[in-house]
């Protein structure tokens, strides 16, 4: 493990004013997204859509890294340039989703554990050779009656830590993603409690596995009310609760925290991140690793029409600019109204 190289990559991933595009939707997930715009999920359509995002002029001004899916990592532009090379040449770090998905946790109804450790060392070597320089592994923690259980938190933290150690061994920066889901009617206070418990377990496991915290990025949920909670916390409450939770549970050695949008709208994800950065300074960079919150408008604008590629690129760049502004707390509703 070359720690200095890992630290350099991690810092580039959370560079000032920039964040990460999560374009690592699995085949079933991208099929659902395409179905929403009546587009068939063929390999050709998937390639065309991702190419639209990656070739948007000025994308590298706001995007520091892109998480790719296995298929996408192996694809090229219409001109034959491999996507990882295209991104690297732009100064954007290519990454790769390496987990095999969250599966039901035996004897724990309503809970899941993420699989994919078997054969991971060999896959990581191949991904590095293909141009990836960071990885992502997502664990999901549900809130409900008597869950999450201690065992659910333990097994997911253990898997995240083993994955992170293997990634660093292979020269890849691991994005560690323990996502507390927003599904449910729980309060923001309950979300904070569970998020804190998950983070404590994850960092204990990372320490046990010998993972260098200077060479990782953390991708957590924001601390928010459950989607069905009758009383929804506002952006200032979300920012205060999230920063409080992270300050208490995330070591300062971690270079950056890149939030997932987790089902929030594009505007909500930008507003909440902006409010957090207004609270600063923080010991780590507070950035973004958004999927839908960067892509929803672009997907709709494109709608699978080759004549609307420019419209899709424009929508993607607008969302990227808004997310970038949230990095220093300067995002505003006026940015949306002006479309700049």
What amino acid positions are annotated as catalytic residues?
A: 177, 219
The count of other CB atoms within 10 Å of the CB of residue 103 is 11
Closest CA to 281 of 16, 6, 62: 16
Q: Are strands 19-23 and 285-290 parallel, antiparallel or unpaired?
A: parallel
Round to whole Å and give the CA distance between 65 and 87: 8
The three state secondary structure string of the chain is CCHHHHHHHHHHHCCCCCEEEEECCCHHHHHHHHHCCCCCCCHHHHHHHHHHHHCCCCHHHCEEEEEECHHHHCCECCCCCEHHHHHHHHCCEEEEECCCCEEECCCCCCCEEECCCCCHHHHHHHHHHCCCCEEEEEEEECCECCECCHHHHHHHHHHHHHHHHHHHHCCCEEEEEEEECCCCCCCHHHHHHHHHHHHHHHHHHHHHCCCCHHHCEECCCCCCCCCCCCCCCCHHHHHHHHHHHHHHHCCCCCCEEEECCCCCCHHHHHHHHHHHHHHCCCCCEEEEEECHHHHHHHHHHHCCCHHHHHHHHHHHHHHHHHHHHHCCCCCCHHHHHHCC
């Amino acid at each position: 493990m070359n720690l200095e190289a890992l630290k350099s990559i991690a810092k580039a991933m959370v560079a000032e004013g920039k964040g990460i595009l999560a374009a690592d939707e699995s085949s079933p997930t991208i099929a659902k997204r395409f179905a929403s715009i009546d587009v068939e999920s063929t390999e050709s359509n998937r390639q065309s859509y991702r190419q639209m995002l990656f070739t948007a002029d000025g994308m590298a001004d706001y995007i520091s890294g892109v998480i790719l899916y296995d298929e996408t990592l192996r694809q090229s532009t219409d001109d034959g340039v491999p996507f990882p090379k295209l991104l690297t040449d732009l100064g954007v770090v290519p990454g790769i989703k390496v987990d095999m998905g969250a599966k039901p946790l035996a004897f724990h109804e309503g809970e899941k554990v993420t699989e994919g450790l078997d054969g991971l060392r060999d896959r990581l070597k191949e991904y590095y050779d293909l141009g990836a320089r960071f990885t992502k592994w997502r664990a999901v923690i549900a809130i409900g009656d008597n869950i999450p259980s201690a065992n659910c938190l333990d097994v997911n933290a253990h898997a995240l830590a083993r994955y992170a150690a293997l990634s660093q061994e292979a020269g890849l920066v691991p994005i560690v993603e323990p996502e507390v889901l927003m599904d449910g009617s729980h309060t923001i206070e309950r979300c904070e409690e569970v998020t804190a418990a998950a983070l404590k377990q994850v960092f204990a496991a990372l320490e046990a596995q010998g993972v260098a915290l200077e060479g990782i990025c953390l991708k957590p949920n924001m601390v928010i009310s459950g989607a069905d909670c009758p009383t929804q916390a506002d952006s200032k409450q979300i920012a205060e609760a999230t920063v409080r939770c992270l300050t208490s549970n995330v070591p300062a050695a971690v270079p950056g925290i890149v939030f997932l949008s987790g089902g929030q709208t594009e505007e909500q994800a930008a507003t909440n991140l902006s409010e957090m950065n207004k609270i600063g300074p923080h010991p780590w960079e507070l950035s973004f690793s958004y999927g839908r919150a960067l892509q929803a408008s672009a997907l709709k604008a494109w709608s699978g029409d080759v004549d609307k590629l420019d419209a899709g690129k424009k929508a993607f760049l607008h969302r990227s600019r808004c997310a970038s502004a949230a990095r220093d707390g300067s995002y505003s509703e006026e940015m949306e109204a002006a479309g700049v």
